[in-house]
A and B are shown apart, each in its own frame.
Chain A
Amino acid sequence: MRVVKYTLLSLFAIPWVVVPFWLVVVNSFKPAGEAAELGLGLPRQWAIVENYTTVVDTGDYLGGLANSLMITVPVVLAVLLLGAAAAWAYGRGDSRWLRATYFVLSLSILIPPSIIPTVHVLRGLGLDGTPFGYALVLIGTRLGIVVFLATGFVRAFPPDLEDAAAIDGASRPQIFARILLPLLRPVLFVGSVILVINVWNDFFFGLFLLKGQDNATLPLTLFQFASGTLQTLQWNLVFAHVLLTTLPLVAVYVFAQKHVLAGLTEGALKG
């Protein structure tokens, strides 16, 4: 019975995971003509250096990588920090204002952001097309889910620890940093996993909100690069770019997979 199950799972994993990833890797090593056959065999002729230098040079990979990091890291940190602070307020406080704003925050999880008026708002702020404006929009549209999950978490704990610290004379920022943040660690970790994947891979918002080659993040450089040869995709180069774009997340995942999987299966539905 177990043997049957694992055989079936392995058979399913071949078309589902192995073939897609293998196709990308092996064809990014081939010269253009051979990659056009889209075969799964090893290259008859190797073109690793040529392909990857082309992608790094004309596909503007390094610029895209730098931009993606400069967006993802601050956005994720800001969402976690501001989200945790808000969750503390919603978990402990109770007033008409808190209830009303919590309702709006909850709606922002489900309802897709309206991208065109967002451009209009950014124009009004003088931030249209800039990485800073793009980052602010990402923070504003991703906060809801983190606040929602963390508020449930705060409510599940009695406020005894915080009260005791307050009696001992700890200030509120101290209580937040020393008690709340460590308490929220599991849920903030789950939040950061989802956020990193979501923000790193964002293409739709970047397409509307970032202007100019200098500001393009990796998904945008991939799109421009692939669109440049739209009619007949140069598969060797497109796959090399796909591989380089995906690699940073896979690399992080390889090291953190145990925590990622445990966090998502055990922490995701709490709260």
Chain B
Amino acid sequence: MVTSLPPRERPPGTETAPHAPHPADGGGGETGDPGRRGWLPWALPAVLLVALFFALPFALNARFAFSAWTGFRSEITWNGLDNFRMLVEQDLLTNAVTVTVLYAILCMAIQNTVSLSLALALQRTDRVNTVFRSVFFLPTLVSPLAAGYIWRGILDPAGPVNSFLGIDWAWLGEPATALLTVAFVDAWKWSGLITLVYIAGLNSVPRELIESATVDGAGPWTRFARVRFPLLAPAITFNVAVTLVGALSAYDVIAATTGGGPGDHTRALNIVMRQQWGQGFFGSASALSLTVTLLVIATAVPLVWWLRRREVTG
């Protein structure tokens, strides 16, 4: 999936070879094989929509981030690094970057630990496992916003978790646990889907390989570490990249649970971005948005590259 981003090279000749012997080649322009140019119209609607609502905003964002643009004046003018300087002076940017990166790492760690464990337990497709898979998929259907409200209730100082543990702790209100707790809610929401991707990855490991390793005397841990884990690399690449990248642009769960608090302990980049936008500071909001994009690129590119190398070398 995401692990093979660049278009695959096809061997030379395969493109035209199957069509060459066809007697109807002359009329091919109107029918099945429209030739090299004829394919573009089929991609065009998708390309236009992606150009207009992904590529153009992406390019514009790089300009707006360095522009004076507020709700109080209509002109958008270049102002260099002023937006970033202002955000740093207000102690907003550095904290937001730290919170966002920590949050993404926590989400990724919790989500992949839970999902990989569940996938290992539910790998075989039988009736009982199907029921469990079905149950553990349910959180994925809940919107991130609703998930935030649900867990805000469960983790309320008066809620079921505290009454079960017999303690009185504001999980979302104390600086020590707030970020970890919000990351947990995010992981909870996506775990069902990630589990299924891991199950798909596990089941693509050839059974004979596991069996021959067992015959050779490898114990369950060795079998996992030496055989399944390396062959699971494509699924791990995908899941780690997807969960990190997704969590870097987190907003919904934080908005529903802490709104950025206590203090600024869960104030991730997008939370600050929305606040700046709401106050009419569109330029600095763009600067924060660009920071998210840069973090994503800085995370995704080396990660995909490194994990793909590991896939090959095992």
Contacts and interface: CB of A to CB of B under 8 A. Distances in A.
Contact of B47 (A101, A233, A266): A101
A114 B63 CA distance: 12
B134 interface: yes
18 contacts: A38-B160, A90-B7, A94-B15, A98-B40, A101-B50, A104-B47, A104-B51, A113-B58, A117-B286, A121-B57, A143-B50, A163-B33, A204-B252, A218-B143, A223-B145, A257-B134, A264-B200, A269-B197
Q: What secondary structure prevails in chain B residues at the interface with A?
A: helix
Interface string B261-273: 0000000001001
Interface string B118-158: 00011001001010111111111111111001111110101
Interface of A: 5-6, 8-9, 13, 16-17, 19-21, 23-24, 27, 36-40, 82-83, 85-86, 88-90, 92-95, 97-99, 101-118, 120-121, 136-137, 139-141, 143-144, 147-149, 152, 155, 158-160, 162-163, 165-167, 169-172, 175-176, 194, 197, 200-201, 203-204, 207-208, 218-219, 222-223, 226, 233, 235, 238-239, 242, 245-246, 249-250, 253, 257, 260-261, 264-266, 268-269, 271
B31 A166 contact: yes
Contact of A95 (B23, B40, B135, B245): B40
Interface of B: 1-2, 4-8, 10, 15, 18-19, 22-24, 28, 30-34, 36-40, 42-43, 45-47, 49-61, 64, 121-122, 125, 128, 130, 132-146, 149-154, 156, 158-160, 163, 188, 193, 196-197, 199-201, 203-204, 234-235, 238, 241, 245, 248-249, 251-252, 255-256, 270, 273-274, 277, 282, 285-286, 289-290, 292-293, 296-297, 300
A137 B138 contact: no
Contact of B143 (A21, A167, A246): A246
B164 to A, nearest CB: 9
